[in-house]
Amino acid sequence: MIGPLSFRSGAVSILIVVLILNIPAVTHSVYAQIASVDEPEIPGSNFSEGTGAPNVTNPNLRAELVFKGLEFPTNMAMLGLDDFLVLEKSKGTVNRIVNGAMLPEPLLQVNVASEVERGMLGIAVSNATNQTSVDSDNSTAASGPYVFLFYTEAVSPQDDTPIGNRVYRYELVDNKLVNPKLLIDLPAIPGPRHNGGSITIGPDNNLYVTIGDVDGHTTEAQNIHDGGTPDGTGGIFRITQDGEPVQSIIGEQSPSNKYFAYGVRNSFGLDFDPLTGNLWDTENGAGSNDEINLVEPGFNSGWLPIQGKAPADFDYQELVNFGGKGVYRDPEFTWVDTVGPTKVLFFDSDKLGNEYENDMFVADVHFGRIYDFNLNENRTALVLEGPVVDKVADTDAEVEQLVFASEFGAITDLQIGPDGNLYVLSFGQGAIYKILRS
Give 297 or 387: the residue with its C-beta nearer to Ca ion: 387
- What end-to-end distance do the CA atoms of the chain give, in Å? 49
Q: Is 57 in the site for Ca ion (CB under 5 A)?
A: no
Give 204 or 355: the residue with its C-beta nearer to Ca ion: 355
Rounded CA-CA distance 54/62 in Å is: 8
Residue 412 C-beta: closest distance to Ca ion, Å:
21
Q: Is 390 in the site for Ca ion (CB under 5 A)?
A: yes
When binding is defined by CB under 5 A, the residue of 57, 387, 401, 420 that contacts Ca ion is 387
Q: Which residues 6+ apart lie within 8 Å of 3 measured at CB?
A: none
Rounded CA-CA distance 398/388 in Å is: 6
- Buried b / exposed e over 143-167, threshold 16 CB at 10 Å, is ebbbbbbbbbbbeeeeebebbbbbb
Q: Is 392 in the site for Ca ion (CB under 5 A)?
A: yes
* Element containing residue 5 per DSSP (H, E): helix 4-20
- Site mask for Ca ion (CB under 5 A), range 298-327, x = bound: ---xx-------------------------
* Element containing residue 344 per DSSP (H, E): strand 341-347
Q: Is 374 in the site for Ca ion (CB under 5 A)?
A: yes
* Chain centroid, CA 364 distance in Å: 10
CB atoms within 10 A of CB 29: 9
Task: Using the rule CB under 5 A, give the single segment among 22-30, 122-130, 132-140, 391-399 that binds Ca ion.
Answer: 391-399
Residue 340 C-beta: closest distance to Ca ion, Å:
16
DSSP 160-203: --EEEEEEEEEEEETTEEEEEEEEEEE---S-SS-----EEE-T
When binding is defined by CB under 5 A, the residue of 394, 417, 430, 431 that contacts Ca ion is 394
Q: Is 355 in the site for Ca ion (CB under 5 A)?
A: yes
Task: Using the rule CB under 5 A, give the single segment among 51-59, 189-197, 343-351, 390-398 that binds Ca ion.
Answer: 390-398
Rounded CA-CA distance 277/274 in Å is: 5
Rounded CA-CA distance 76/82 in Å is: 12
Rounded CA-CA distance 96/60 in Å is: 31
Task: Using the rule CB under 5 A, give the single segment among 9-17, 48-56, 237-245, 383-391 that binds Ca ion.
Answer: 383-391
Residue 398 C-beta: closest distance to Ca ion, Å:
5
Residue 162 C-beta: closest distance to Ca ion, Å:
26
Q: Is 359 in the site for Ca ion (CB under 5 A)?
A: yes
Give 51 or 401: the residue with its C-beta nearer to Ca ion: 401
Residue 374 C-beta: closest distance to Ca ion, Å:
4
Residues found near Ca ion in the complex (CB under 5 A)? 291, 301-302, 355, 359, 374, 387, 390, 392, 394
